[in-house]
Amino acid sequence: MPEGPSIVILKEMVCDLHLRRKAVQQAEGYAKIDMDRLVGETVLDFKSWGKHFLICFKDFTVSIHLMLFGSYTVDERKKQNPRLRLVFDTHEINFYVANIKILDKPAEELYDWSGDIMSEHWSPATALKKLKGQPKALACDALLDQDIFAGSGNIIKNEVLFRARVHPMSKVGEIPDKKLKEIIRETHKYAQEFLEWKKAGTLKKHWEAYTKKTCPRDKVPFHKEYIGKNKRRSYYCEVCQEKF
């Protein structure tokens, strides 16, 4: 599932097509939305919020979530039918195996960018308040909670908990405030580095915990478990990641 930095890359690529203030010429695909509603409408902007790519119109927003296996193409087509194809006068964009929704409000009325780890409006104080409101949550679940860390996914979760030296099965309410603030700080920092490395094609080279077999700090085997509410993969070191 693409994480927040990958959606920022999609947004930046589409913005470079100069489609703002351009009208949709054709809209088609097998997504269960009103395609006719899009035709003739002018795109005001393209945004991202967490793992969602947003196409902004005057009175509504198209939200696109690539889920686990979604993909997209620009000015080329795959053999499979798209969930959504948007054709403009100079370019077309295709989305495959994605969750597509039309939301009946402008994006500004729908999304809180203070919760988006990729946003310039990201608020560490708000994240801390939300974390402390879920004392029984496990650290591995909290890092995947899109209401707290919109855009964080399994890569970011594993890398941040390793950097902060926190066991994924720690309960949020037992983690000291200083350590919670470190988790928040490292989440934002790692997300920006993720974006830089993803653009350079070197992301995997920088993984310290995710998919790794050995802890680079203690030279002992990582534990790999499917834990948390959604049984997502966690990689952790019993030596250097403290369980609170």
Specify the CATH number for the domain of residue 221: 1.10.8.50
pLDDT at position 68, please? 87
Looking at residue 212, what DSSP letter applies? -
* Distance separating alpha carbons of residues 139 and 123, to the nearest angstrom: 19
- Domain holding 60, by residue range, is 4-111
End position of a domain, from candidates 68, 94, 111? 111
pLDDT at position 1, please? 74
DSSP of 41-75, one letter per residue?
Answer: PBP-EEEEETTEEEEE-SS-EEEEE-TTT-EEEES
**Are 26 and 39 a contacting pair, CB within 8 Å?**
yes
CA dist 92 → 27, 60, 84, 220 (Å): 10, 20, 10, 50
- Residues with Cβ < 8 Å from 228, sequence gap 6 or more? 138, 140, 141, 144, 168, 234
Which is nearest to 149 in space by CA: 102, 197, 98, 185? 185
pTM of the model: 0.94
**For residue 38, with 0-12 CB atoms within 10 Å meaning exposed, 13-18 middle and 19 or more buried, which class applies?**
buried
End position of a domain, from candidates 85, 111, 137? 111
Looking at residue 134, what DSSP letter applies? -
- Same domain? For 131 and 104 the reply is no
- Same domain? For 226 and 160 the reply is yes
Is 138 in a helix, a strand, or coil? strand
Token pair belonging to 121: 């409006």
The pairing of strands 52-56 and 61-65 is: antiparallel
**Are 121 and 113 a contacting pair, CB within 8 Å?**
yes
Token pair belonging to 85: 């194809």
- Same domain? For 63 and 148 the reply is no
- Same domain? For 81 and 130 the reply is no
56: domain CATH number is: 3.20.190.10
Asked, for residue 241, whether it belongs to a domain, the answer is no
- Same domain? For 157 and 77 the reply is no
Which is nearest to 46 in space by CA: 13, 11, 16, 18? 11
- Same domain? For 120 and 228 the reply is yes
Which is nearest to 101 in space by CA: 147, 150, 146, 67? 67
End position of a domain, from candidates 78, 111, 144? 111
Asked, for residue 188, whether it belongs to a domain, the answer is yes
In the block, residue with structure tokens 């790519």: 53
- Residues with Cβ < 8 Å from 203, sequence gap 6 or more? 194, 197
- Same domain? For 161 and 211 the reply is yes
Q: How confident is the prediction along the chain (244 residues), in pLDDT tens digits per residue? A: 799 999 999 999 999 999 999 999 999 999 999 999 999 999 999 999 999 999 999 999 999 999 989 999 999 999 999 999 999 999 999 999 999 999 999 999 999 999 999 999 999 999 999 999 999 999 999 999 999 999 999 999 999 999 999 999 999 999 999 999 999 999 999 999 999 999 999 999 999 999 999 999 999 999 999 999 999 999 999 999 999 9
Which is nearest to 67 in space by CA: 53, 48, 85, 81? 53
